[in-house]
Structure formats: structure tokens, C-alpha cells
Chain A
Amino acid sequence: MAVKAKRSKLSVGATVFILVMLAVPVLHFIVFWLYVNFDTVALSFERYDGDTNNFVFNGFGNYVDLFREFTKDDTLLYAVRNSFTLLLWNNFVIVPISLVFAFVMYKKVPFSGFYKVVFFLPSIISVSALTLVFMYMFDANSGFVPGILDSLGLSDKIPFDGYFADAKYAWWMVLFYGLWSGIGYNIVLISGAMTRIPEEIVEAGKLDGLTPLKELWHVTIPLIGSTLGTLMLLGTTVMFTYFLQVKLLLGGNAATTHSYTIALWIVDNVRESGNINTLPIGAAMGVVCAVIGIPVVFGTRKLIDRFLPSYEY
């Protein structure tokens, strides 16, 4: 890096070059991040005025309305609960299962390479196609899963309206879809980190007589801490960002099956309603999410750094 330090004094040419190169990305950031986020805050204090076709100041009106939405019916309360279960599901079910799968593969189970490729398939297929495949697999009329249940004499486990329209099953289907489609991506990330663990460390552990379980707990997990940490951090942000899978799997049934998420509620207000009047309340919910989300995400980061510190090796 010593060579680079030589160029610490920037010539005019270099300055021009840097400015030109960064112009587009920085401008993009200013418009699509800074401006839209500030404007979201502004929008949350406005309402649409049909007479002038403009957004006008509305004080805390949207926040009051938002509070009413919470008390009006249980849609939003369920949305909060569901979003929270996503966090738990991701960090305490999907990531641990992926970790165990990846560890077993790392321990040279036959055909690991083949399985890894197959498990990765859902990650490259569009959510839009994959949700359809998943839905038709469980479709009450034509799917093969109900067919199998039927032949096993479990036809009482097939809800009349199908799994995606039944309040008892719908949210579980969303969670199950997340598990079914999400493991492979995590495995690839975790396996990548495992293969970077130096052989000497594993060898030393073996000489100390570590069992595989102890190796996983005392050697592997600490050494892939930063990767696990990243996955858990992503698993935390889904609480505020997960909606597309729910929207595509449940469509109009999200409300009747108590399966909204916070993000889905926002997107519905912005776009699905087709009504410009509901943009501001969507923005208000976005602001509330950010106000709660930022400390949650950074707090989680702190917790992760504490319990899964990343080691240099």
C-alpha cells in the first residue's frame, strides 16, 4: 500500500478524474437515498389535496390516523406480530438449520457438492416464479401435496379454502416458504466461510480430541462469526422489509388470514390501493419503521459483535 500513499497529493488531473467518476453514483445517492428519505419524512406530515392536486401540510394527521389504524381492527397488530416472528424464524430456525447443514457438508458427507448446487437453485429463480411453483404444489384442487395427504388418510389436514386462504395455515406457509427457499443461499455463504478456516486450527482441535459437535461449537462457529453475524443482521432487517413473498403467496388473502407484515402494509398503501390519498400514511408508517428499526438494527449489530466477534486469521 506504500505505492498508493505516494499519490496522497492530488494533481488537478486526478481531482477532475475523481469528481467525474463519482458524479453519477454520488448524485444517485443524493436523489435516491437522501432526497427520497427526507421527502418520505416530509410526505408523512402532508395530505393529498384533490382541489389543487398537491400535497399540503397536515401536521401529525397521518400519525393520528396511523394510531387509529392500529386500534380500528387487528390487521396491524397482526402485522407487527408477524414481522417479529420473521425475525425469530430467520435467526433461530433458518440460520441454525443452514449452519448445521453446511457443517455436515463441510465434514465431507458424500455428494455434498451436488446437494449444495440443488439447494442453491431457489436463490437464482425469481420470487415471482418460485412462489407460483410453491403455491401449486400445495394447491387444494390440483397440487400433489394435498394428493399425498389424501392418500395417507390425512384429508382432514387439507383446509377447505386451501392452505393460502386459511387463517390457521397461511402465515405458517409464508414461514415454511422462507425456510424451503432460503436454506441454500445461507449454506453457500456459511460453507464459503468454513472453507476459509485455516487447516492448522482444525488439526490442532483434532489433536486435542474434539468431537465434531465440540468442534462446531468451539472452533467453527467462533471462526465464521462475521458471516453468521451478517446473516443474522439480514435476518433482523427482514422484520421491516419482508413483503414480496407474502404478497405473492397470499395476495388478497393477507388481510383475512391475519398475515400482513409491516412492509406489505406500506407497499399496499403506496401502490396496491391505486389511491394517491394513502401515500402519506404509508410514508408515516415508513418513518415509524425507521425510527424503531435503526436502533434495533444497530443494537443487534452491537449484540452480534459481542457474541460473535470476527477474528482475523
Chain B
Amino acid sequence: MKKSSLGWGIKITAIVIFTLYAISLIFPFVWMLMNTFKPMKEFMTNTNGLPHTFYTENWRTSFDLDVYGVRLPQMYLNSVIITVGCTLCCLFSSSATAYVLTQYRFPGRSVMYTMAIVVMMIPTIGSVAATYTLYTKLQLLNTYTGIFLTALGGFGSPFLLLYGFYRNLSWTYGEAAQIDGAGHFRIYFSIMLPMAVPALVAVGILQAIGFWNDYFTIYMYAREIVTVSYGIQNLNSTLAGNLPALFTAIMLSIIPILIVFACFQKVIMNNTSIGGIKG
């Protein structure tokens, strides 16, 4: 396991640079968190120091913050509904395409796989215009259905991750079930899917983080369904006079993600290293 190793000089320089960068990432959050325990008046005079008193009013009143009349608890509920719904839609579609494309030989199979990869590379930002008119026509603006529909695609990066998984899944179990008279649906739903649960969970976590954080879809198609991620941007303009309250809302929006990350850090980072989240 010996490797050509770096000299001490380089190692120390690296640690110094790494530490400085790590501080630049962590300190802003600590600074923000610290300031949530100050009233605005104190924040103006004591921006960088520790709070004089342990002031919890910002946290206690945070649930009354609202955007377009939607209060923070409702924003959380919207975020949860969208995250769960979109993740399920996305897994449903991606798993179906990945399973069929790896386990069955049929005409058009390789074309579909190639398309999936090529299509991801084409810059189609202009299509937001047509999608927006489509949503207007179909009256899908500001509906959960409209948002869930955006997640039903089966050929994105979750597809590629699951493709990698199903490709290595042996068909022998399916074959045994087939001999016992199980149909194709039965094999998929009662034998293959249960075996795929770990992979689905891993991909699901990555996708769920993406959906929780999503700002763009709400901004484009469903501003009335205010989610936490969309809401804090609006609070930024309404709470300019009470920054500690804004900081509290920002902290509240990040905490759920930090908890998920703390629990599934290995799964998240390993799967990112294989397939990437943002693809």
C-alpha cells in the first residue's frame, strides 16, 4: 500500500490551505447561527461578537413568518409533499426504464440508452418558454400535479445510477420465479424491486435533497406553492429590516438537509462519486 508520498512542506501547505477553506465554509454558518440569538438592535451594533443575552425570540416567532400569506409551517409541508412526491415519481420512472433496458433485449433498446446520454448534453434552456406556455394551456401552473410531472422523467442521472445497479443484478431469481409461473410484472414488483431497495434508497436520498433544495421549478411554474427553499428568497426582501429573523429562517431551511447529511453522509458521497447529483 505504499505510495510515492508528498514532502512535509507540501503536506503542511495543503493542511493550511484546506483548513482556511474549511473555515470559510463553516464560519459563515456559525456567524449566522450566532446572530439568530440577537435582536436586530443588538445585531446592528454587535455584528460579529457573541450575543449579550440568550435571545430566543427570533426562533419563537419564526413560525409566523409568511410569504404571500403562506406561513413557515405550511412552507415546510409544501416542501415535504413536493420532496416525497417528486422523489417517488422520479424513482418510479427511472427504475422502470433502467430495469427494462438492462434485463430485456428488444428493438430500440440501445438507441434509448444512447439518447439518454446524448440528450443530457444538449443545452435546452430555451425550452422553458415552451414549457411555460404548455403549463399555462394545461392549467398546470401552481399545482402539485404540475410539479410532480416535471419529476417523472426516466432518463436522467438517477436512471444512469440505477442502470449500473440493475445491470449487475442476476436474472437467476427471475428465472426461478418464471419456472414457478410468475409473470413479468410479478417478477419485477415482488422479486427484483425488493432486491433493489438499497440502490433505490441511495438514489432516492440524492434526488430528495435535490427536490428539497429546488428553487427553479417553483419559481417557474408554481410560485403560489411556496416551499422553504423558494420562501427564504422572498423573506430576504421582506425581512431586510430584521436580519436576525431572516438568518433564523435560513438556518431552519438548512437544518433538515444537515440532519439527512449527518445520517447518510457515506451513502450520499459514495453515490455522488459514482454518478453525481446535479447531472
Contacts and interface: CB of A to CB of B under 8 A. Distances in A.
Interface of A: 3-5, 7-8, 10, 13-18, 20-22, 24-26, 28-29, 31-33, 35-37, 39-40, 42-44, 55, 101, 104, 107-111, 115-129, 132-134, 136-137, 142, 144, 147, 180, 183, 185, 188-189, 191-193, 199, 202-203, 205-206, 210-212, 215, 230, 233-234, 237, 239-241, 243-244, 248, 262-263, 266-267, 269-271, 279-280, 282-283, 285-287, 289-290, 293-294, 297-298, 301
Interface residues of B, number: 98
B215 A233 contact: no
Contacts of A44: 126
A21 B232 contact: no
Interface of B: 1-6, 10-11, 14-15, 18, 21-22, 24-29, 31-32, 43-44, 47-48, 92-94, 96-97, 99-100, 103-106, 119, 121-134, 149-150, 152-155, 170-172, 175, 183-185, 188, 209, 212-216, 219-220, 229-230, 232-233, 236, 243, 246-247, 250, 253-254, 257, 260-261, 265, 268-270, 272-274, 276-279
A129 B258 CA distance: 13
Given A24-B152, A240-B125, A132 B25 contact: no
B123 A290 contact: yes
Contact of A205 (B4, B131, B152, B185): B4
15 contacts: A8-B105, A10-B104, A13-B184, A29-B154, A36-B134, A120-B272, A126-B257, A128-B253, A132-B250, A142-B47, A192-B274, A205-B4, A237-B123, A283-B129, A293-B122
Given A29-B155, A132-B250, A43 B1 contact: no
Contacts, number: 294
B83 to A, nearest CB: 12
A29 B130 contact: no
A25 B105 CA distance: 18
B130 A39 contact: yes
